[in-house]
Amino acid sequence: MTPSTPSATASRPGRRAGSLLTRLRRELFRTPLDALITLVLLSGIGWVLGATLQWAFTAADWQVVSGNLPLYLAGSYPPDQLWRPLSWMAALLLLSGLTLRPGSAAVARWLPAAWIALLPVGLVMLAGGLGLEGVSTRQWGGLALTLMLTAASGVIALPLGTVLALARRSSLPLVHGTASAYIELMRAVPLISVLFFGQLLIPLFLPGDWEVNRVLRAVLTLAAFAAAYVAEDVRSGLQALPRTQSEAAHALGLSDWQATRFVLLPQALRIALPALANQAVGLLQNTSLLAILGLVELLGISRSLLANPAFLSRHLEVYCWLALLYWAVCTVMALMARRLENRLNRGQ
């Protein structure tokens, strides 16, 4: 094979740039009308972006954010123990980075175990135990509380939703009817109503000497609500599988339970992964409703700061920062789900 000459190698970037310009000209300026629409849209985007940057760097006062950054990260967590939620969130950020850009094969091999251990480690770090000082859930808040609510609710909602999906496909009328009634009820009731019912009704079903804190009640309520939507996503994945998969499993001598566990369910979860990732992002965003119930997650922190007379006129800065923070976390979740989907598709 003839090696490429230096002139040919040097001309490759020029050819790529010319190809890009040709493609842009063909797609954006093909006709005079296309060119006019492109110029109008680019002018509007430039004007909005310029005005936003001018406000952000000249008129906005970001002291409300920079001066209260520990509150946004961990709420009213004890200052001398602040390293605990910060360490847990740093570990979460590190695992997210390793998931998106895994280094060696050994690191990629240990990532699933690290993700599984992250939630119990986070609970110990925030609540205390194993030599750590106990901290009441009333002092949890900010980004740490938002992430903990999302992770704990998702861990409960995924298996519960899978069981509901299997129950709705059951041939037993009582099992099928119960699962269908639960799913349709949860999907027909607004989440805020479910949250209020959960906060008020869960203590009524417990013995008098039992007490469930607000964070645990919020986790159980969010999980019960999200499980109904997860069940429909998993059921759609099961319905997308051809009947030949089940027939082949039975031909190999597998029982119905074994065929579902080892053949059907893994494929259904792979198919439903984009929808499940969307549910995870929605679950993170739905935690903002808990501010109405008195939990000081990200939106609760913002509302408490805006009630301070020193920051009464800083609504725009607070909500822009809040939107940026939610966008960053949701984007990382979406990218990790996309990487997992690509990896599973390569395995397939």
Model confidence at 134: pLDDT above 80: yes
Model confidence at 106: pLDDT above 80: no
Our CA angle for 163, 166, 169, nearest 5°, is 150
| Helical segments of 211-297, H only | 214-240, 243-251, 256-259, 265-271, 273-286
Write the CA distances from 338 to 99, 269, 343, integer angstroms: 11, 14, 9
Q: Would you state the pLDDT for residue 16? A: 64
Kindly state the tokens that stand for 78: 């004890």
Strand partners, 129: 132
Distance CA 21, CA 15 (A): 10
What class has domain 63-347?
mainly alpha
Match 């110990």 to its residue by tokens. 124
- Which residue, among 141, 178, 168, has the nearest Cα to 236 in the 3D structure? 168
Q: Would you state the pLDDT for residue 159? A: 95
pTM listed for this prediction:
0.85
Torsion sign (Cα): 200, 206, 211, 214: negative
Q: Using H for helix, E for strand and C for coil, what is the string for 136-158?
A: CHHHCCHHHHHHHHHHHHHHHHH
Q: Would you state the pLDDT for residue 279? A: 93
Q: Would you state the pLDDT for residue 1? A: 46
Model confidence at 52: pLDDT above 80: yes
Q: Which range is least confidently modeled, 87-101, 103-117, 166-180?
A: 103-117
Model confidence at 347: pLDDT above 90: no
Model confidence at 57: pLDDT above 50: yes
Kindly state the tokens that stand for 19: 């190809």
Q: Would you state the pLDDT for residue 14? A: 56
Q: Would you state the pLDDT for residue 128? A: 86
Match 């499993």 to its residue by tokens. 249
> What average pLDDT does the segment 280-303 reach?
88
3-class SS of residue 308: coil
- The total number of residues written for the chain in this structure: 348
Distance CA 264, CA 245 (A): 7
Q: Would you state the pLDDT for residue 233? A: 94
Kindly state the tokens that stand for 110: 């240990």
> What average pLDDT does the segment 51-67 reach?
88
- DSSP assignment string, 195-222: HHHHHHHGGGGS-TT----HHHHHHHHH
Residue 5 pLDDT grade (very low, low, confident, very high; cuts 50, 70, 90)? low
Write the CA distances from 33 to 23, 36, 40, 230, integer angstroms: 17, 5, 11, 45
- Which residue, among 3, 303, 347, 302, has the nearest Cα to 339 in the 3D structure? 347
Domain positions in the chain are 15-59, 63-347
